[in-house]
A and B are shown apart, each in its own frame.
Chain A
Amino acid sequence: MKFNRFWTATAAAGLLISGLMFTGPATAEETTIKIGNIIPLSGPSASVGQQGKNAREMAVEEINAGGGIKSLGGAKLEMLYADSESKPEKGVSEAERMINTEKVNVLTGCWNSAVTYPTTAVAERYGVPFIVPVSVSDKITEQGFKNVFRIAAKDSWWTRDQFAFLKDMQAEFNTPVKKLAFVYENGDWGKGMASQWKKLAEKDGYEVVMDEPYPSTATDLSPVVQKIRRSRADVLLLVSNAADAILLTNTLAEYKVRLKAIVATGGGHADPFFIKAVGKNAQYLFDIVEWEADINKPGAKETNAKYKAKYGYNLTGEAVDAYLSMYVIKDALERAASFDKDAIRKALAETNLTSGAGMIVGYDAVEFDESGQNSHASPVIVQINDMGNGLERITVWPKSARRAGYTPVFPKP
Chain B
Amino acid sequence: MIYLIEDTINGILMGSIYGLTALGLTIIFGVLKVVNFAHGTLLMVGMYVAYWTVVLSGLHPYLSLVVVVPVMYVFGYYLQDIVIKPIFKAEKDVREPSTVIIVTTGVWYVLDNLTLMIFGPQYRSLPENPLQGKMIEFGELFISVPKLWGAITAVATAFGVYYFFQKTRTGRAIRACSLDRDAASLSGINQYKIYNMAFGLGSAVTGIAAVTLVPFYNTFPSVGVLFDIKGFIIVVLGGLGSIPGAIIGGIIVGIIESVGPQFMTATWTEAIVYGLFLLVLFVKPSGLFGVKYDW
Residues of A within 8 A of B (CB): 186, 212-215, 217-224, 226-227, 230, 242-243, 246-247, 250, 253-256, 271, 273-274, 276-279, 281
Name which residue of chain A comes closest to B124, CB basis.
Answer: A277
Chain B 243-286 interface 0/1 with A at a Cβ cutoff of 8 Å (1 = within): 00000000000100111111001110110000000000000000
The answer to whether A223 and B10 touch (CB under 8 A), given A215-B267, A242-B123, A246-B125, is: yes
* Interface SS of chain B: helix
CA distance A373 to B226 in the complex (A): 41
| B123 near A273: Cβ-Cβ < 8 Å | yes
Jot down 28 A-B pairs with beta carbons below 8 A, ordered by A.
A212-B261, A213-B265, A214-B265, A218-B266, A218-B270, A219-B226, A219-B230, A220-B10, A221-B266, A222-B14, A222-B144, A223-B269, A224-B266, A226-B10, A226-B262, A227-B262, A243-B123, A243-B223, A246-B123, A246-B125, A255-B142, A271-B123, A273-B122, A274-B123, A276-B123, A277-B123, A277-B124, A278-B125
Q: Which residues of A contact B6 (CB under 8 A)?
A: 226
Chain B neighbourhood of A220, CB < 8 A: 10, 14, 254, 257-258
Q: Which residues of A contact B157 (CB under 8 A)?
A: none
Since A212-B265, A214-B265 are in contact, a sample of 7 more A-B pairs with Cβ atoms closer than 8 Å, ordered by chain A residue number, is: A219-B18, A219-B230, A223-B266, A227-B262, A243-B218, A256-B142, A276-B123
B260 touches A254 (CB 8 A): no
Give the residue of B217, B223, B266 whose beta carbon is less than 8 angstroms from that of A212. Answer: B266
Minimal Cβ-Cβ distance residue in A for B230 = A219
* Nearest chain B residue, comparing its CB with the CB of A220: B14
CB distance from B235 to the nearest CB of A (A): 16
Contact status A186-B218, CB under 8 Å: no
User: Chain B residues with Cβ under 8 A from A277's Cβ?
Assistant: 122-125, 218
* Chain A residues within an 8 Å CB radius of B225: 217
With a CB–CB cut-off of 8 A, which chain B residues contact A218?
257, 266, 270
B266 touches A250 (CB 8 A): no
Q: Contact check, B220 vs A223: say whether CB atoms are below 8 A apart.
A: no
| Contact present for B3 and A254 (CB under 8 Å) | no
Contacts of A278 in B (CB 8 A): 125
Interface string of B59-80 (1 = CB under 8 A from A): 0000000000000000000000
The 7 closest A-B pairs by CB, nearest first: A223-B261, A214-B266, A277-B123, A220-B14, A186-B267, A273-B123, A273-B122
Question: Given A219-B230, A254-B135, is A243 in contact with B220 using a C-beta cutoff of 8 Å?
Answer: yes
Docked pose: A221 CA to B266 CA in angstroms: 9
Q: What residues of chain A lie closer than 8 Å to B227, measured between beta carbons?
A: 219
Q: What is the bound-complex CA distance between A243 and B213, given in angstroms?
A: 14
Whether B7 sits at the interface, judged by CB under 8 Å, is yes
* Contact between B226 and A213, CB atoms less than 8 A apart: no
In the bound assembly, the distance between CA atoms of A352 and B269 in angstroms comes to 53
Contact A217 to B226, CB < 8 A, known contacts A230-B3, A254-B144: yes
The docked-state distance in angstroms from the alpha carbon of A21 to that of B63 is 73
In Å, the complex CA distance between A220 and B151 comes to: 14
Separation of A253 and B266 alpha carbons in the complex (Å)? 20
B133 at interface by CB-CB < 8 Å = yes
A395 to chain B, nearest CB (A): 24
- Chain B residues with Cβ below 8 Å from A250 are 125, 133, 216
> Which residues on the B side are within 8 Å of A271 (C-beta)?
123
Q: Select B270's contact among A215, A255, A274, beta carbons within 8 Å.
A: A215
Tell me the minimal C-beta distance from A190 to chain B in angstroms. 10
Which chain A residue lies CB-closest to B122?
Answer: A273
When chains A and B are docked, how far (Å) is the Cα of A165 from the Cα of B142? 33
| Alpha-carbon distance between A6 and B128 when the two chains are bound, in angstroms | 66
Judge whether B3 and A255 touch: CB under 8 Å: no
Q: What is the CB-to-nearest-CB distance from A269 to chain B, in angstroms, rounded to a whole number?
A: 12
- Nearest chain A CB to B132's CB is how many angstroms away? 9
User: In residues 12-52 of chain B, which contact A (Cβ within 8 Å)?
Assistant: 14, 18
Minimal Cβ-Cβ distance residue in A for B145? A254
Q: Is the CB of B144 within 8 A of A213?
A: no
- Contacts A213-B266, A214-B265, A255-B135 hold; do A219 and B217 have CB atoms under 8 A apart? yes
Contact A213 B261 (CB under 8 A): no
B62 to chain A, nearest CB (A): 19
Say yes or no: A213 contacts B267, CB within 8 Å: yes
* C-alpha spacing A214/B257, complex, angstroms: 11
Does A222 contact B123, Cβ atoms closer than 8 Å?
no
Chain B proximity of A125: nearest CB distance (Å): 41
Q: A220-B14, A250-B133 are in contact. Are A226 and B266 (CB under 8 A)?
A: no
Complexed CA–CA distance, A105 and B133 (Å): 59
Query: Once the chains are docked, how many angstroms separate the CA of A256 from the CA of B230?
Result: 28
A215 smallest CB distance to B (angstroms): 5
Residue of A nearest to B137 (CB): A256
What is the CA–CA distance of A256 and B139 in the complex, to the nearest angstrom? Answer: 12
Expressed in whole angstroms, the Cα–Cα distance for A223 and B265 within the complex equals 10
Q: In the docked arrangement, what's the CA distance between A224 and B265, Å?
A: 9
Nearest CB of chain B from residue A153's CB, rounded to whole Å: 28
Q: How far, in whole Å, are A247 and B14 apart by their CA atoms in the complex?
A: 14
Using known A-B contacts A213-B265, A242-B123, determine if residue A223 contacts B257 with beta carbons closer than 8 Å. Answer: yes
